[in-house]
Amino acid sequence: MRLAAVLSCIAPLFILPVCSQTVYTGDILSGHKVISRLDVDDLPYNSYTKLWLRMTLNQIGQSYHVPIIVAKGHCDGKRLLLSTGIHGDELNGIRVVQRVLKDIDTSTLQGVVVGIPQSNVNAMYAGRREFVSHFETGVLTNINRRFPGNSTARLAPDRYVSILWNNVHNVNNFDSVVDFHTQTSNYKFPNFVYADFRVPYVQTMAELTGADVIKIDDGSSALGSVEVVNDASGRPSITYELGSPLLWQKDQIQRAYDYTFRLMANLTMYPANSDSGVVSEFEAYRSKSFYGNAFDFTNINTGGFVERYVDLLDVVHKGQVVGAIFNVFGDKLKDLTNSVDGVVTSIGTSPLLSASDYIINTIYFSNDTKCQYGGC
């Protein structure tokens, strides 16, 4: 090891203490300290810390608390934020963050990994995708369109988001951000990534996943998301979708777990995994990754019962019959055809649909100049 590298790891031992920027409320919840602001600089080197971030008040005047896990290495280095649980019915990412943070050897780690395994506890309590506001007759909010939030907003979800943003995301100088998701209820995804390749390092982050499908995406359809707002703030970010909702799928969890350690190695935070089985599996997945930049949805124009004739990752062609819709008596109302050549990247799971619902979503690569670099 070069002398400069050695000094970079031992230098923190000689830095004089500074005033803490982490704000502790003085409360203890389930044995762990409660904070209102996180500054990882305050935490000791070679440490594993569990905290609660105090959020907004619920309707009976008690605070929501978001769990925060911090693995801080034996010396300074890059900083990685792992976020998940922004939607209450998306659970695979929770297990990824739990396992990754638990298995990091902080004596080997250079830098800091912060995990938020349950960003939207309100939605978790409600068992649904959205933040539930008890306002007027009730308001449902997708908080992954509300970043960076608004601390003076009328509605609680905007204030809730502002606490996450102002006291974790935007104050710890993260070098990269991964936001884990799944599809929402009644739909399913493969292993899938949204990534804005125009942002430096994002393409590398996406390719290291070995995802089944990578959507080259400018983020215009997801303004206010964790990914898009962090990208705009100079922190390369991806949205990593891990299969189906309301499940812990071992294969999806393992792929994201292995990816995270691969990403840490690429960031020079952690040694690369030398297990030949893990490496060969990744190379096999990566060799089959499909890259697209546009979506096409096969919708229905009336309510009814749907039979689907294709599944995830099937190659489909323009004009292909991909399903049929039936009325309550079992009469076929019409065949449903695909509009483009591409790959099935999302599919509904319920046979009962309403008008304008989609039965499949096809990803393809458009040669339209407006789509080629930023997606559309």
pLDDT in tens, 68-84: 999 999 999 999 999 99
pLDDT (0 to 100) of residue 18:
44
Structural domain spans, the chain: 3-292, 295-364
Q: 19: exposed, middle or buried (C-beta count within 10 Å: 0-12, 13-18, 19+)?
A: exposed
Q: How many residues does the chain have?
A: 376
Judged against a pLDDT cut of 60, whether residue 7 lies above it is answered with: no
Residue type, 6: V
* Least confident window among 6-15, 59-68, 231-240, 297-306: 6-15
Question: What DSSP letter does each residue of 194-212 carry, written as one string?
Answer: EE-TTSTTHHHHHHTTT-S
Can you give the pTM of this predicted structure?
0.93
pLDDT in tens, 153-205: 999 999 999 999 999 999 999 999 999 999 999 999 999 999 999 999 999 99
Give 165's DSSP letter: I
Residue 59's CB is within 10 A of a number of other CB atoms, namely 10
Q: Which residue has the tokens 């608390």?
A: 65
pLDDT in tens, 231-240: 999 999 999 9
pLDDT (0 to 100) of residue 20:
55
Q: What is the mean pLDDT of the chain?
A: 93
pLDDT (0 to 100) of residue 374:
66
pLDDT in tens, 210-221: 999 999 999 999
- When pLDDT is cut at 50, 70 and 90, the band that residue 4 belongs to is very low
Average pLDDT over residues 313-325: 98
| Closest by CA position to 278, among listed 290, 292, 265, 268 | 265
Considering only residues 227 and 5, tell me which one the structure prediction assigns the higher pLDDT. Answer: 227
Question: What DSSP letter does each residue of 235-250 carry, written as one string?
Answer: --EEEEEES-TT---H
Q: What residues contact residue 75 under an 8 Å CB cut-off, 6+ apart? A: 8, 9, 10, 11, 12, 45, 110
Report the distance separating Cα 15 and Cα 182, nearest Å.
43
Under DSSP, is residue 68 helix (H, G, I), strand (E, B) or coil? strand
Q: Which CATH superfamily is domain 3-292 in?
A: Zn peptidases (3.40.630.10)
**Displacement of CA 238 from its chain's centroid (Å):** 7
Report the distance separating Cα 97 and Cα 92, nearest Å.
9
- When pLDDT is cut at 50, 70 and 90, the band that residue 1 belongs to is very low
- When pLDDT is cut at 50, 70 and 90, the band that residue 8 belongs to is very low
Number of H helices, E strands in the chain: 8, 22
Q: Which architecture does CATH list for 295-364?
A: Beta Barrel (2.40)
pLDDT in tens, 118-134: 999 999 999 999 999 98
Judged against a pLDDT cut of 90, whether residue 6 lies above it is answered with: no
pLDDT in tens, 87-143: 999 999 999 999 999 999 999 999 999 999 999 999 999 999 999 998 877 899 999
Ordered strands of the 332-337 beta sheet: 332-337, 321-326, 304-308, 352-353
Residue 370's CB is within 10 A of a number of other CB atoms, namely 12
pLDDT in tens, 255-292: 999 999 999 999 999 999 999 999 999 999 999 999 99
Q: What percent of the chain has pLDDT over 70?
A: 94
| Closest by CA position to 246, among listed 357, 374, 49, 87 | 87
Q: Which residue has the tokens 């999302």?
A: 346
- Evaluate whether 273 touches 200 at the Cβ level (below 8 Å): no
